[in-house]
A and B are shown apart, each in its own frame.
Chain A
Amino acid sequence: NAGVTQTPKFRILKIGQSMTLQCAQDMNHNYMYWYRQDPGMGLKLIYYSVGAGITDKGEVPNGYNVSRSTTEDFPLRLELAAPSQTSVYFCASRRDRAAYGYTFGSGTRLTVV
């Protein structure tokens, strides 16, 4: 049981490049989330999904896209990287019952130069 796995752990992008941050969970959780964390700040929600084929915007969705074709995977796509997207990205999942806690991955540190 690996929990929530994020790849890559580190990445440097040039302005205008694209990339996909991968997130996979093996706990059969329906709900999955993408957060970003800027230095010294709390986490901000980018997108979330309540099940395969269903996604919704969070607080800061601009510049990102997501898809959820399977229960296990929830990739985050950056189409045209900008310096403002330099951040640490965390993926999380949780069980369906609202009272349960979230499980977070270890994060992807992205730098856009």
Chain B
Amino acid sequence: DAKTTQPNSMESNEEEPVHLPCNHSTISGTDYIHWYRQLPSQGPEYVIHGLTSNVNNRMASLAIAEDRKSSTLILHRATLRDAAVYYCILRDYGGTASKLTFGTGTRLQVTL
């Protein structure tokens, strides 16, 4: 299974942009890159996903390297409510249905 590597933790000041990196050097051509986040005491929440091109939505932007071996989740203006664990996940096609395999993610701290 293709794996991802993320820093354990990052810090940001409120109102500043945050770039959360993810390495996935063994990604296959059909793997989608998914990002989820988990706020304290809540279930994971879908943030964004992409295959090859950069993607934007109301929550964040996803920048995917041209060789697809790394990606970056961009929060344009961090707020205190963005403090969470962010997971970078490659969709696993094993078994009868594709599944999400979670690592330990990056814990983002946002300070005033």
Chain A positions near chain B (C-beta within 8 angstroms): 4, 31, 33, 35, 40-45, 48, 50, 54, 56, 58-59, 90, 92, 98-99, 101-107
Contacts and interface: CB of A to CB of B under 8 A. Distances in A.
A43 B97 contact: no
Interface of B: 32, 34, 36, 41-46, 49, 51, 87, 91, 95-105
A4 to B, nearest CB: 8
A54 B98 CA distance: 14
B49 A103 contact: no
Main secondary structure of the interface of A (DSSP, over half): strand
B102 A56 contact: no
Contacts of A98: 32, 91, 98
Contacts of A43: 44, 102
A17 B4 CA distance: 38
Given A99-B49, A101-B34, A101-B49, A42 B103 contact: yes
Contacts of B105: 42
Contact of A107 (B42, B51, B91): B42
Contacts of A105: 43
